[in-house]
Amino acid sequence: MRRLIHIPIVHSQADLGPLQERVRQAYIEKGGEKAWKASREALTEFWNALEIAMDRLPLDYTKLRLYQDGLPVCGLEEKIVRDLAQQGGANYRILLKLAERGAKIEGTEDPNLLRKEYELIMAGVHTGASSLGADADKNENAEIFRDLLERRDSFVAQRIDQTLQTGETGILFLGALHHAAEMLPDTIQVTSLSEFLRTDGANPRAL
C-alpha cells in the first residue's frame, strides 16, 4: 500500500520570495492594512498548529517522502529547503525538521512550468495590467493560468506516482487551488491530516 497525506496550504509571506511585496500590496488595496495584518496573524497560527501536528506524526520517518508546492525537480531540493527555512519560511522549516528525522524531500514540480508562471506574474498578466484590464483580456489571462495550474498538477501527480514506493507514506503540501491529489492513481490512498491522525492514534486536535 502507498498512502499520501494531503495538506492544503496558504503560503506564508516568506515563502513567496520576490513576489511577497506584490502580494502584500494587492491585499492591502482590497482590504486595507489591518486586514493584511490580521491575515498574517491567522497564517502564523495556522503554521504553528501544523508544526505541532507534524511533531506528533506516528510514522517511520525513514519511509516518509515530502512533496512541496513550488519545489522544482532540480537536484538541489534540500539546499532550497534549508535556505528558505533559514529565511523564515514556516513551510520549509517544517520540511527541514521532518528531513532531519529521516524523511526524504522530493522535487515536486516542473521547473519550466514554475518559471513560466513566475514570468507571467511579474509581467502583470494575472491582473490584465498590460491591456488596461479589458474583460476579454482578463478572461484570456485567467484561462492561461488555469491551463498552467492543470499542467502543474498533472506533473505533481505523476511525480508522486513515480517516486512513492510500496509501504511508504507521502506528505503533500499544496496550495488550496490545486487538484493534483485528485489526479493520483487508485493505488495511492489519499487522506487528510486530521483523518490520518484519528486513524493512526495521534491527537487530531493538534491542528
Q: In this predicted model, what pLDDT tens digit does every residue of 127-159 receive, in sequence order?
A: 444 343 445 556 677 888 899 999 999 999 999
Cα four-point dihedral sign 74, 77, 82, 88: positive
- pLDDT band of residue 207 (cuts 50, 70, 90) is very low
CA distance 171 to 107: 13
**Quick one: which of 40, 126, 143, 55 has its CA closest to 88?**
40
Q: pLDDT value at position 68?
A: 97
Taking only the tens place, the pLDDT of each residue in 11-38 is 766 666 666 677 777 777 777 888 878 8
Q: pLDDT value at position 60?
A: 93
Residue 14 corresponds to which cell in the numbers above? Answer: 516568506
CA distance 154 to 30: 32
Residue 167 corresponds to which cell in the numbers above? Answer: 509501504
CA distance 50 to 37: 20
Residue 128: left (phi > 0), alpha (psi -120 to 50), or beta? Answer: left
Helices vs. strands in the chain: H and E counts, helices first: 7, 5
Taking only the tens place, the pLDDT of each residue in 30-74 is 778 888 788 888 888 999 999 998 988 889 999 999 999 999 999
Residue 172 corresponds to which cell in the numbers above? Answer: 503533500
Give the up-direction half-sphere exposure of residue 13: CA atoms within 13 A in the CB hemisphere.
Answer: 16
